[in-house]
């Protein structure tokens, strides 16, 4: 039998926040928002690591809710 590796560690905090630690990230991709119905949008984020893949499915009331900011890589 092959030993399992941890893909992600998940913590549920008492203030209802979720924290996910992913080691050895190799890539992150995100789908385009898709409308499911009136005021209901869906988007998926995929995080690929050396140990596996983490998929996050998200719902929002408008597609703008899925916008995000990239860091300024020039300053790194």
Q: What's the rounded Cα separation, in Å, for the pair 42 and 29?
A: 15
Q: Which range in 1-5, 26-30, 67-71 is most confidently predicted, on average pLDDT?
A: 26-30
Supply the pLDDT for residue 64: 94
Does this model's pTM top 0.85?
no
> What 8-state DSSP symbol labels residue 15?
T
Structure tokens at 53: 């893949």
pLDDT tens profile 11-61: 766 777 777 888 899 999 999 999 999 999 999 999 999 988 989 999 999
pLDDT tens profile 6-22: 666 677 667 777 778 88
8 A C-beta contact, residue 7 and residue 54:
yes
Is the confidence at residue 62, as pLDDT, over 90? yes
Tell me which residue has tokens 């039998």.
1
């Amino acid at each position: 039998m092959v030993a399992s590796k941890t893909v992600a560690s998940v913590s549920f905090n008492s203030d209802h926040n979720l924290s996910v630690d992913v080691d050895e990230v190799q890539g992150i991709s995100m789908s385009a928002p898709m409308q499911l119905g009136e005021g209901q949008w869906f988007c998926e984020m995929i995080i690929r690591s050396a140990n596996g893949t983490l998929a996050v499915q998200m719902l929002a009331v408008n597609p703008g809710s899925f916008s995000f900011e990239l860091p300024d890589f020039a300053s790194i």
